Structure 1
Amino acid sequence: MSEKRQFKTEVQKLLDLVIHSLYSNKEIFLRELISNASDAIDRARFEALKDEGVLENDAEWKIKITADKDAKTLTITDNGIGMSAEEVEANIGTIASSGTKRFLEQLQSNKENLPPELIGQFGVGFYAAFMVADEVTVITRRAGDAASASKWQSKGDGFYTIEPCTREKRGTDVILHLGAEHEEFLDEWKIRKTVTHFSDFVEHPICMDIRREEPKRDKDGKVIEGEEPTVTITEETLNSRKAIWQRPKNEIKPEDYAEFYKHISHDFQEPLETIHWKVEGQTEFSALLYLPKKPLFEMFMPDQRERGVQLYVRRVFITDKCEELVPSYLRFLRGVVDSSDLPLNVSRELLQEARTLKMIQKNLVKKVLDTLADMKEKNAENYAEFWKSFGMIVKEGIHTDFENAERIQDLMLFDSSKTDEGKKTTLAEYVTRMPESQKEIYYITAENRKAAMNAPQLEAFNSKGFEVLFFTDPIDEWVAQDVTSYKDKKLRSIAKGDVDLDSEDEKKEHEENRKEATKENEGLLAAIKELLGEKVKEVRLSKRLTESACCLVSDEWGMGINMEKIMKAMNQDVPPARRIFEVNGDHPLIATMRKLHAKDAKHPKLADYTAMLYDEALLTAQLPLEDPLAFAKRVSALMVAEGTALTE
């Protein structure tokens, strides 16, 4: 006899949560029900090891999906362990574990920290059926109990009924009476697609009766009009059951790895590198990861950008959007991580899940960084290709992954003043080439290699034989703020602050000359500062110029020129920068201006020359001129004067 009962308060809250907000993808209901069916079979297999009577002469484990379009029902059947009436009440009608209360409390108090999509994927299981069903019926019989079965039924309205029934064999039928808006889940194509996407690698076969109609034909193969078609019904297995990541590496061919990569990445190329390993110990998981050769198209699509490594739990697909699994700076990775430890039910504490994910992530990051380090040492050509495609992304880890920042530093590649075009160097290689007199690692940020090579600030370093690294990726501006030293060597920008490249002996040797030069140019520098006014913070003699007449540099802790350009390109409100204007006292143009100033401190040409010098410094810094027309007129006037002098 049927008895109407009411859900426990916690279960009703959970049910409301599932139906209305927890899942964003309703297809997940089928994954959850298949996962439950798979677990039930696993339990039956385990109990059969101790008691063969559990098998009931049926050892062909199987999950079956049946779609009835007339009745508008979708049934998921398994021949697993089944449930007794008491177990139905305990597992569906109530959830006695305090874990559910804790789950709901944490969800309500930490909505921003516990993404609903991820929480749902770890396991409200059976209740997900109510996302698509107006009513759910469960018919189940416990293995080894042939005398009775139970029928559970609910419309998800806060009440359910349980009554005795009959079922020929052990196992469970979950019957979903689909709502009108969800009848697409009765279509063969939709069921195939959902099973392939979420449950393709479930160990047990997921079967379905496939109905086909073939028109009758005559001996010539023409369709006979008016004849009823021949109907065939064939049971087909919908899932591949081929979990390549669970197989031993020595059984897998390179072409098998490549085929699976193309399947999960939709890339037409083969991967650059394959990483396949299994971890046992504090946590257990298998992983098959790939390094693509080039950035995948989806990385440039906002709605696809977060997709990456797929997370499975015991071969059941969970998600491909799990920030807790793969840090953002490794988002180019594709592949699978399959955990044996992560739970699929809410009775486990979420903190336990978080710890497990963190342990998996730590192992994963270590393995990937080890692989990259090994590739850098043993296959420089492949590593250069990888770095060209993904180096800028990896550098993000310098700022976001403090624990592995030093390892990432060792992976970084840069152009430099001593590398040929197309060749790069590491920080470690740079340090080994440093002369004994060089105490710091020098770098310059620029838009590209050519701009760095032509920077006037480089001149004194070249003359001294000091190598300068070229930071040419936009992110290098932020990297420079985080990487302040390497192997006890301080990193210094050659375009910031003051520089002094002389050794102690050279300082003594040049001290008198510098005092004399400072005194000799004192008046001219003051005049230039007066003419430029607030455009510059200071005017001084340069220790970094040997060929150019002038350059602009930033304060030691001020915003660099390249950073300012990047920020403006990002439409950021950047306050006007007042930079230091350095002039080369040994340059013929400065010598001419010095003589002109000595002759007449208010000579009008001084203003023209100063303006042209400042514009020259802006151009070499690849900054926009303040008045291009005035600059053009000055150049024209200079050319006329020069031409006149030549022709007289």
Structure 2
Amino acid sequence: MSEDTLQFQAEVGRILHLMVHSVYSNKEIFLRELISNASDACDRLRYAALSQPDLTADGGAFEITVTVDKDTATVAVADNGIGMNREDLVENLGTIARSGTGAFLEQLSGDARKDVALIGQFGVGFYAAFMVADLVEVTSRKAGESQAWTWKSDGKGSFTIAESDADIRGTRIVLHMRDDAKEFLESSRLRHIIQTYSDHIAVPIRLAEAGKDAETVNSASALWTRSRNEITEEQYTEFYHHVGHAFDKPWMTLHWRAEGRIEYTGLLFIPTSRPFDLFRPERRPGVKLYVKRVFITDECEEVVPGWLRFLRGVVDSEDLPLNISREMLQHNPVLTQIKAAVVRRVLGDLEKRAESDAEGYLGFWDTFGQVLKEGLYEEPAHRDTLLKLARFRSTRDGEWTSLADYVARMRPGQEAIHYISGGEIDALRRSPHLEGFAAKGVEVLLLPDAIDDFWIPSVGAYEGKSFRSVTRGAADLDKIEADPEKTPEEKPEASDLGALIAAFKTQLGDSVKDVRSSDRLTESPVCLVADEGGMDIHMERMLKMHGQNVPPTPRILELNPRHSLIRKLAGEADSPRTADMAHLLLDQARIIEGEPLPDPAAFSRRLSALLAG
């Protein structure tokens, strides 16, 4: 029988090298990962058999069997699930895996000690077997096919694959245990691992020693079907690890059963740590859909919206038909109602948590707030609740604030919620656009996330107070009563700024939309602002970065009449150097905004001439 030798994908080679040389103390996770994969294989065949009953004609009830053999120093994990053919074995075991392995790889630093520590943070699936085995054999036959295949590897760069005579549907993984992993040849040790990590698996897990009858060692019932008072916190946590392919503890667990016109059960978890695929463009959901305890799909956007994709867990419906197709899911009214109810439940529990544990809630918002804000843009029906849940950094001591608290602190005469968006928080704090607001004691929200430039125009206002960017339009600070604790503003000396403004307009031409005096600046000489009806500066820059064809929009150059440089220039507006100063100050304003200079050579030439006197 011919045997092909193939090389691992380079990224898998990196993982295997780490696993083979691992000194990680919690190596027992290998069994959890293999059992979890076996459970998924059974779930997928159960679903496929709904439309193709013949797929399960050659096997009995679904089960997972763990067999230990001290004589051969092997541990085997077998399932009668969907199985794999040759292409599946090469794709799933020879190239980068999908469940967490890509994120695991991105974190590798090259430092062996630091990288080994990461093993405890990621479920690296099948590859965890190489922490305890120096040879792994996988024999599998795919449901509906007659040919079985055997995959072998020592984890050192290559694997072999050949035809097999096995006639049992499903997959059997045999681990030839390393000398430093002989503890896992004790059945009592394996029983403890299974009952600790995999008791919630709905498929029976049977443990056997070679030559002896197998015994079922897990509860073999879907955890979400049990009453809450029957489930321990440890069982919830291990189920979260299984369903979420995660290693952290859940920040919040939501378990409820809805009865009435529509019946379903939800067991959802909010992670403590941010999943590493959270901001991938496809926005894959993390909630699995079951119907009457039968797994349907883990790629169903109709269960939870994209802006709740950090959720992990299951939703099990009693009303959907078992033979429902993925196409039918997209327009099913029952699932639409379940989705709406799930969203209300999650947001309602978040509101309660924000009230009962304000500090803990801020940690949650810091981790997932950027994703929740997508809902402000996408889901008008939930905006009121999301606006209550939202927290923002502001110029007030840098602390988090709610919109309700911000509005309560607004200065007399202040009519809008002022904000500045774009870039890092520290860079926003240094923006010259904030100077006049700070002088008046006006708090400004600091919005660093890209989504902020999208949801604000969609929402428009909060409790009748419009959102207003400090980088757009006139500051209009005269209406706002000054904070008595702030130092009174220094009034500018009388100077004829009109001549300087006229000269700047002539010299700058179409490079700017207008030149005008500013009341938003107290320390900086100039700044650029967008017109009241124009696109926000940060929004325009972000669209360009993403390849959008955005025509350049001239900005308004504002001059600070309080600044000594501007006062000096106003007294010599007809000077020959006014032209160079106009362009230099415009470029200075561009630099402050983080914009590229259109002509760096001209900027350098003018600056050199100025410095030379």
TM-score of the superposed pair, with normalisation by structure 1? 0.62
1:180 corresponds in structure 2 to 146
Are positions 1:280 and 2:259 aligned together?
yes
Match of 1:575 among 532, 551, 571: 551
Q: Residues 553 and 260 (structure 1 numbering): CA distance in 2 closer, same or farther, change over 3 Å?
A: same
2:372 corresponds in structure 1 to 394
2:595 corresponds in structure 1 to 623
Q: CA RMSD in A?
A: 3.9
2:271 corresponds in structure 1 to 292
Q: Which residue identity is paired with 1:563?
A: M
Are positions 1:451 and 2:423 aligned together?
no
Larger radius of gyration: 1
CA deviations 1:198-237 (Å, max 9, x no partner) are xx9897x7699x998x6xxxxxxxxxxxxxxxx66x4666
1:74 corresponds in structure 2 to 58
2:191 corresponds in structure 1 to none
Q: CA deviation at 1:478?
A: 0.7
Q: State the alpha-carbon separation in 2 of the partners of residues 260 and 491 from structure 1.
A: 43
Superposed counterparts of 1:335-374, under 5 Å: 335-345=313-323, 354-374=332-352
1:269 corresponds in structure 2 to 248
TM-score of the superposed pair, with normalisation by structure 2? 0.66
Q: Residues 323 and 186 (structure 1 numbering): CA distance in 2 closer, same or farther, change over 3 Å?
A: farther
Are positions 1:460 and 2:436 aligned together?
yes
Residues 43 and 294 in structure 2, CA contact (< 8 A), matched pair in contact too = no
Residues 419 and 425 in structure 1, CA contact (< 8 A), matched pair in contact too = no
Residues 37 and 77 in structure 1, CA contact (< 8 A), matched pair in contact too = no
1:534 corresponds in structure 2 to 510
Q: CA deviation at 1:445?
A: 1.2
Residues 456 and 551 in structure 1, CA contact (< 8 A), matched pair in contact too = yes
Q: State the alpha-carbon separation in 1 of the partners of residues 435 and 55 from structure 2.
A: 78
Q: State the alpha-carbon separation in 1 of the partners of residues 383 and 233 from structure 2.
A: 33
Q: State the alpha-carbon separation in 2 of the partners of residues 455 and 406 from structure 1.
A: 30
Residues 395 and 475 in structure 1, CA contact (< 8 A), matched pair in contact too = yes
1:415 corresponds in structure 2 to 393
Q: Residues 329 and 301 (structure 1 numbering): CA distance in 2 closer, same or farther, change over 3 Å?
A: closer
Q: State the alpha-carbon separation in 1 of the partners of residues 55 and 172 from structure 2.
A: 10
Superposed counterparts of 1:166-315, under 5 Å: 178-181=144-147, 186-187=167-168, 190=171, 234=213, 241-299=220-278, 306-315=284-293
Structure 1: tracts of 5 or more residues without a match: 1-24, 39-64, 68-72, 79-128, 133-175, 215-230, 507-512, 642-648
Please list every run of at least 4 consecutive aligned residues from structure 1 whose deviation after the TM superposition is greater than 6 angstroms: 25-29, 33-38, 182-185, 200-203, 205-208
1:494 corresponds in structure 2 to 470
1:438 corresponds in structure 2 to 414
Range with greater deviation from structure 2 (608-617 or 178-187): 178-187
CA deviations 1:456-476 (Å, max 9, x no partner) are 221221111111111111111
Q: CA deviation at 1:327?
A: 0.3
1:42 corresponds in structure 2 to none
Q: Residues 346 and 632 (structure 1 numbering): CA distance in 2 closer, same or farther, change over 3 Å?
A: closer
CA deviations 1:387-426 (Å, max 9, x no partner) are 2221111111112111101111111111111133xx2111
Are positions 1:604 and 2:576 aligned together?
yes
Residues 284 and 309 in structure 2, CA contact (< 8 A), matched pair in contact too = yes
Q: State the alpha-carbon separation in 2 of the partners of residues 561 and 356 from structure 1.
A: 44
Are positions 1:557 and 2:533 aligned together?
yes
Q: Residues 552 and 66 (structure 1 numbering): CA distance in 2 closer, same or farther, change over 3 Å?
A: closer
Match of 1:595 among 571, 575, 579: 571
Q: State the alpha-carbon separation in 1 of the partners of residues 143 and 303 from structure 2.
A: 36
SS at match of 2:321: coil
SS at match of 2:523: coil
SS at match of 2:289: strand
Paired residues, number: 452
Q: Which residue identity is paired with 2:146?
A: A
1:547 corresponds in structure 2 to 523
Identity between Structure 1 and Structure 2 (%): 40
2:308 corresponds in structure 1 to 330
Q: Residues 313 and 412 (structure 1 numbering): CA distance in 2 closer, same or farther, change over 3 Å?
A: same
Residues 47 and 296 in structure 2, CA contact (< 8 A), matched pair in contact too = no
Q: State the alpha-carbon separation in 1 of the partners of residues 147 and 50 from structure 2.
A: 24
Q: Residues 538 and 33 (structure 1 numbering): CA distance in 2 closer, same or farther, change over 3 Å?
A: closer
Q: Which residue identity is paired with 1:190?
A: T
SS at match of 2:434: helix
1:376 corresponds in structure 2 to 354
Q: Residues 560 and 181 (structure 1 numbering): CA distance in 2 closer, same or farther, change over 3 Å?
A: farther
Residues 47 and 295 in structure 2, CA contact (< 8 A), matched pair in contact too = no
SS at match of 1:559: coil
Residues 444 and 468 in structure 1, CA contact (< 8 A), matched pair in contact too = yes
Q: CA deviation at 1:618?
A: 0.8
CA deviations 1:138-171 (Å, max 9, x no partner) are xxxxxxxxxxxxxxxxxxxxxxxxxxxxxxxxxx
2:448 corresponds in structure 1 to 472
Q: State the alpha-carbon separation in 2 of the partners of residues 239 and 183 from structure 1.
A: 30
SS at match of 1:388: helix
CA deviations 1:564-620 (Å, max 9, x no partner) are 2212221222211201111122322122212212xxx2x321112112211111122
SS at match of 1:568: helix
CA deviations 1:244-290 (Å, max 9, x no partner) are 21222122211111111111112111111111111111211111111
Residues 412 and 480 in structure 2, CA contact (< 8 A), matched pair in contact too = no
Residues 270 and 311 in structure 2, CA contact (< 8 A), matched pair in contact too = yes
Q: State the alpha-carbon separation in 1 of the partners of residues 331 and 455 from structure 2.
A: 33
